[in-house]
Amino acid sequence: MLGGGEFRMTCRVLARDTVVVPSNSSMTLPVNVPNKEHVTSIAIIEPCNLLYEEKNISVVSGIINSDDEYPFVQVVNYSDSDVKLYPNTMLGTCESVAAFPELRQDRCAGVNIIQSRQVETDENGVPEHLQDLLTRSCTHLTPKEKMTLAELLNKFQDVFSRSPEDIGRTNKIKHSIDTGDARPVRVPPRRLPIGKREIERTEVSKMLERGIIEPSNSPWSAPLVLITKPDLTTRVCVDFRSLNQLSRVDSYPVGRVDDCLEALSNSKLHRMMCKILKKTAKRDSNPQCTPLNQIRAVTRSRQVIPSAGLTKIKDLVIDGWDQISLRKSQLDDHEISEILMRIEDKKRPEWNEISNQSAVIKTLWRQWDRLEIHQGLLYRKWIENETEEFLQLIVPTSKRQEAIRYFHDIPTGGHLGIDKTLDRMQKTFYWPSMKNTIVEYIKRCDSCAAQKQLQARKAPMGKFLTGEPMERVAMDILGPLPMSKNNNRFVLVLSDLFTKWTEAYPLPDQEAKTVAQALTNEFISRFGTPLQLYSDQVTDGIPVIKTCKHRCNRYQITLPVQAFIQEPEIENESKVKPHEYVELLQSSLIKAHAYARKHLKGSQEYQKKYYDQSAKKRELIAGQPVWLHDPTRKPGVCSKLLPKWKGPFIVLKKIDDLIYMVKKSPRQPAKVYHIDRLIPYKGRNPPTWYKDKVEQK
């Protein structure tokens, strides 16, 4: 705010008409000054530097009367060619004379300076176009904070748009697109529907009026694209893909994503964090105890010591780790404390003294020359290569699971494999048999086990011999396939497992009613009812069988079935008597069936012999938790991100050598699965509902 209630504001000066300014000459032009009511009646005009840099034309500095409907300014063309100015071209800026007290004497002499009108404000002095913003922002602010916000809005009110037409533009930097020696690309405009042509004209006119675009005869051209926004208005875009392919991209230094994620892995967002850090720093002069140091990541907190040539851990912080707690944990660990106390006393024990101790003590004893103590903690010197050495913290037993969980389970850990997890941890930590501990931990990780591929060895092949036709018929549905001329997309396939006779029937869909109708009218009416109908446990099989049974019980029998039930009598014109023909046919079929059974048995034994060479017999017991291999794909979801194993399930009972009945929870029904799809569960969260149920019984 200026003295006397005057408000300081800078307005743009825009060309009103299309004008051609001759070379090396000047002329007076009418201009528009948007929002000129917010400046004083006597205002000063300053040229726009960007216009001079682009077109070598400038406005002469001077004073105008902002109360005029169309003020005039003088424009000078310093170039050797004519310059064409289009409407809404920014020529300069207009500012109240009250903002320049020194101008009142020398430059405004003889001019009747009229006091500027006061801008309409509220009790906080906020301009009218910012009052709604202030009201919405002060909902949860105190009166003092509200006054601070009002002062901030007043100070920077020129950065806010007063209307949709008030679109600002900075002249602090000039952007250029480097295409090198590429030839200009001219992409013709796309043909628009009739309904969108008027919208295009309207949007282009608006952008011309606002000074966003200007007519051009450049050899480069790109088509417009009209995008409908959610509020049904139109956004005008430009398809610059052909230009982007020729542009040379600017290179900027970009930080590593893994460094940023690990640095924030244990961080928490606190309100007024700066105030908390300042208060903590005043209370405690030790910078390593501030909250900022307590949320750093271990993997990027190593620091090179020039004097020793080593890399030492700077902050030992994982969810509250500090020097005191680690020192206490090392002393509480019997095996580590034995070596720690001897190193502090600088007395290496003899072999006879530790020969009857554990393997951990013996392993640390053999590395005596590589063990060091820093700030009361035991470290091991690790030599990475000829030039890099660093220290590894000897982690006590009570902290090992927590350390592995930090490097493996948290989101930045990524559930890496054994070798990668070991490689990451070795750069910071060490303990004897470290790899074995990591292997056991990862084997018991549920997330890793659910994503692994099926690697269990297959079980031996089972036997199921069929002895006569129609004893067991296999059924499956093939599809969906491309639509046929008769609007069929699926195929119902049935095969007799004894004779290998196969039938296929086209289906428009795989609904239970459709499948049951084809099975009854096409197969059963011609060959009879099979003793067993075998499917691959698809959910469509159960409603199909129920539908078949319902149709028979309700006597909803179609013509082919009636023909099968009521076989018409045929006159015997041959010389062979009917009963003799039947006996001859039956004896021939008995011999053929015996011959087929013999060869089927031999073929099955041959297949089983070679199949079982790579098979391994496994057995599960009742009550044992298991994983179920179920790589089901969900529509619209990438299968690579879905778990391959589900569970844990509980084995309820063993049906035969290959089939088991399992159940996931008390509320879900039990199902039977082949043992090849089941593996033992070794995780840390086995289900307890089955054990509680057995104890209650």
| Helix (H/G/I), strand (E/B), else coil: 12 | strand
Containing structural domain, residue 238: 194-214+221-245
Q: Residue 3: what pLDDT?
A: 42
Q: Residue 147: what pLDDT?
A: 87
Res 316 pLDDT > 70: no
**Residue 168 forms part of a structural domain:** no
Sign of CA dihedral 160, 165, 170, 171: negative
Q: Residue 1: what pLDDT?
A: 42
Cβ neighbours of 431 (radius 10 Å): 23
User: Mean per-residue pLDDT for 558-573?
Assistant: 47
HSE (CB half, 13 Å, CA atoms) of 383?
7
Nearest 10 degrees: Cα torsion 640, 642, 643, 647? -160
User: Within this chain, do residues 32 and 87 fall inside the same structural domain, yes or no?
Assistant: yes
Res 555 pLDDT > 80: no
Res 292 pLDDT > 70: no
Are residues 596 and 439 in contact, defined by beta-carbon separation less than 8 angstroms?
no
Q: Residue 119: what pLDDT?
A: 42
User: Within this chain, do residues 235 and 349 fall inside the same structural domain, yes or no?
Assistant: no
Angle, CA 341 vertex, CA 337 and CA 344 arms, to 5°:
140
Res 100 pLDDT > 60: no
User: Within this chain, do residues 497 and 633 fall inside the same structural domain, yes or no?
Assistant: no
Q: pLDDT tens for residues 67-77?
A: 776 788 888 88
User: Within this chain, do residues 429 and 280 fall inside the same structural domain, yes or no?
Assistant: yes
Q: Residue 308: what pLDDT?
A: 42
**DSSP per-residue codes, 554-565:** TT---HHHHHHH
**Residue 572 forms part of a structural domain:** no
Are residues 71 and 39 in contact, defined by beta-carbon separation less than 8 angstroms?
no
Q: pLDDT tens for residues 317-333?
A: 566 677 888 888 888 88
User: Within this chain, do residues 647 and 685 fall inside the same structural domain, yes or no?
Assistant: yes
Domain CATH code at residue 538 = 3.30.420.10
**Residue 516 forms part of a structural domain:** yes
CA 681 remoteness from chain centre:
29
Total domains present in the chain: 5
Give Cα separations from 131 to 153, 156, 182 (angstroms): 10, 14, 51
Domain CATH code at residue 291 = 1.10.340.70
How far is residue 293's CA from residue 400's CA, in Å, rounded to a whole number? 22
User: Within this chain, do residues 664 and 547 fall inside the same structural domain, yes or no?
Assistant: no
Q: How confident is the model at residue 696 (pLDDT cuts 50, 70, 90)?
A: low
67-74 CB contacts, 8 Å cutoff, 24+ apart:
67/41, 67/114, 70/16, 70/30, 70/31, 70/32, 71/30, 71/31, 71/33, 71/36, 72/28, 72/29, 72/30, 72/31, 73/13, 73/28, 73/29, 73/31, 73/45, 74/26, 74/27, 74/28, 74/29
User: Mean per-residue pLDDT for 119-129?
Assistant: 63
What percent of the chain stands above pLDDT 90? 3
User: Within this chain, do residues 207 and 282 fall inside the same structural domain, yes or no?
Assistant: no
**Residue 356 forms part of a structural domain:** yes
DSSP 478: E
3-state SS, 122-155, equals CCCCCEHHHHHHHHHHCCCCCHHHHHHHHHHHHH
User: Mean per-residue pLDDT for 670-681?
Assistant: 85
| Helix (H/G/I), strand (E/B), else coil: 640 | helix
User: Within this chain, do residues 410 and 359 fall inside the same structural domain, yes or no?
Assistant: yes
Q: How confident is the model at residue 124 (pLDDT cuts 50, 70, 90)?
A: low
> Final residue of a domain: which of 96, 119, 142?
119
How far is residue 660's CA from residue 672's CA, in Å, rounded to a whole number? 5
User: Mean per-residue pLDDT for 201-215?
Assistant: 82
Least confident of 180-184, 547-551, 626-630: 547-551
CA 320 remoteness from chain centre:
30
Cβ neighbours of 473 (radius 10 Å): 25
Q: How confident is the model at residue 265 (pLDDT cuts 50, 70, 90)?
A: low
User: Within this chain, do residues 406 and 521 fall inside the same structural domain, yes or no?
Assistant: no
Least confident of 25-34, 99-108, 678-687: 99-108
Q: Residue 657: what pLDDT?
A: 79
Domain CATH code at residue 107 = 2.70.40.10
User: Within this chain, do residues 292 and 332 fall inside the same structural domain, yes or no?
Assistant: yes
For 276-400, list the strands marked E by DSSP: 302-305, 310-313, 371-374, 377-383, 389-394
**Residue 610 forms part of a structural domain:** no
> Tokens 């010389």, residue?
575
Higher-confidence position of 550 and 468:
468
Res 285 pLDDT > 50: no
User: Mean per-residue pLDDT for 622-643?
Assistant: 78
Contacts of 447 (CB under 8 A, 6+ apart): 409, 415
**Residue 131 forms part of a structural domain:** no
Largest CA distance in the chain: 143
**Residue 676 forms part of a structural domain:** yes
What percent of the chain stands above pLDDT 70? 76
Res 282 pLDDT > 50: no
Q: Residue 490: what pLDDT?
A: 92
Are residues 615 and 640 in contact, defined by beta-carbon separation less than 8 angstroms?
no
Pairing outcome for strands 678-680 and 625-629: antiparallel
> Final residue of a domain: which of 119, 141, 174?
119
* CA-closest candidate to residue 86, choices 208, 220, 221: 208
Q: pLDDT tens for residues 351-369?
A: 888 888 888 888 888 888 8
**Residue 552 forms part of a structural domain:** yes
User: Within this chain, do residues 316 and 370 fall inside the same structural domain, yes or no?
Assistant: yes
User: Mean per-residue pLDDT for 190-201?
Assistant: 88
Res 114 pLDDT > 80: no
Q: pLDDT tens for residues 501-524?
A: 889 999 999 888 888 888 888 888
Q: Residue 520: what pLDDT?
A: 87
Q: How confident is the model at residue 695 (pLDDT cuts 50, 70, 90)?
A: low
For 438-538, list the strands marked E by DSSP: 472-478, 490-496, 502-507, 532-534
Average pLDDT, the chain: 75
How far is residue 406's CA from residue 686's CA, in Å, rounded to a whole number? 22
* CA-closest candidate to residue 38, choices 130, 121, 151, 118: 118
User: Within this chain, do residues 562 and 423 fall inside the same structural domain, yes or no?
Assistant: no
**DSSP per-residue codes, 441-456:** HHHT-HHHHHHS---S
HSE (CB half, 13 Å, CA atoms) of 333?
24
Domain CATH code at residue 689 = 2.30.30
> Final residue of a domain: which of 534, 566, 598?
566
Pairing outcome for strands 472-478 and 25-32: unpaired
How far is residue 211's CA from residue 167's CA, in Å, rounded to a whole number? 9
